[in-house]
Amino acid sequence: MVDKHGNVPGTFRSAWHVRQWWLAALAWMGLIFYLSAQPDLPHAPEPWLDMVVKKAGHAVLYGVLAWLYLRALQGNGLSSGRTRLLAFGLAVLYAVTDEVHQSFVPGRTPSPWDVLIDGAGAALAVTRNFRPTLKRRADSVKPLRG
């Protein structure tokens, strides 16, 4: 049996495939940690634009993290829905720990709104793959003849 990535489950190649996604997720977590440890990040020229850019950045950072978790977890024997829920949960859990981390950084303050935005980015990342499946199903439905 070969998975969609061309790996045979239980072989070195499939184990390496899983490890590379976990390593990518850990590296991404390191980037988030580094950014959170900065007492002051660069600012956009307008306050409203600064807020939009930073909040969009939160959503993108945690969307990518959830996607990396999803890739690392695929093929673990859980259903697709449970795998997506686990990837989402791990990303939100890291968002919470990131806000706790920021409470110790001078010049930074934790915000539950940031966790909400992070969660929205993660949710979008883990659910976006459903769309092509739904489109294929809609294309396969034949119109009724009257």
The predicted-structure confidence for 80-138, as pLDDT tens digits, reads as follows 889 999 999 999 999 999 999 999 999 999 999 999 999 999 999 999 864 444 454 55
Q: How far apart are CA 87 and CA 72, in angstroms?
A: 9
Range with lowest mean pLDDT among 54-58, 92-96, 140-144: 140-144
CA-wise closest residue to 28 among 75, 76, 73, 62: 62
Burial class (CB in 10 A: 0-12, 13-18, 19+), 133: exposed
Kindly state the average pLDDT of the residues 33-59.
93
Q: Are 126 and 84 in contact (CB under 8 A)?
A: yes
Q: How far apart are CA 48 and CA 115, in angstroms?
A: 20
Residue recorded with tokens 């010049």 = 107
Q: Specify the pLDDT at position 76.
A: 73
pLDDT tens track for 1-24: 666 655 555 555 577 778 899 999
Six token digits for residue 129: 């793959």
Q: How far apart are CA 106 and CA 113, in angstroms?
A: 19
